Amino acid sequence: MIDHVSIAVRDLEASAAFYEQVLATLGHARLVERPHTIGFGKRYAEFWLNHRPGVGAVAPDTGAHVCLRAESTDAVDAFHRAALDRGATCDGPPGMRPHHTGRYYAAFIRDADGNKIEAVTFVEQV
């Protein structure tokens, strides 16, 4: 249903460097580069950074929440670790979220602009 998402960032180059490393853990790469926007994806740009130098950081309990699919729990863990290693804050460590379903394994981070980004995978039930 959703083709792509965009988030506002104050420092396009710093955010692009951050997301280039973090999204690589989910198999995404920088695919499109324009003067005020950069797009990441696997085959086409699905996740966009839009340069908005005047925007303030998103408050922790507001704003958008973007969730990206991961292929495994290891990829979710790598996403979370890569983000924290590059200055993001933890908004929920990797783990099962039984209140969603018995199979929902996710991790949540906040980037330098306060955007809430999640990685999720659905584990096989045993």
Cα–Cα distance list, 25 to 45, 53, 55, 76, 83 (Å):
16, 27, 28, 8, 10
Would you state the pLDDT for residue 125?
Answer: 65
CATH of domain 5-54+64-122: 3.10.180.10
Residue pLDDT, tens place only, 35-90: 999 999 999 999 999 999 998 878 777 777 999 999 999 999 999 999 999 999 99
Instruction: For the chain, give every domain's residue range.
Output: 5-54+64-122
Q: Is the pTM of this model over 0.95?
A: no
Average pLDDT of the segment spanning 82-102: 92
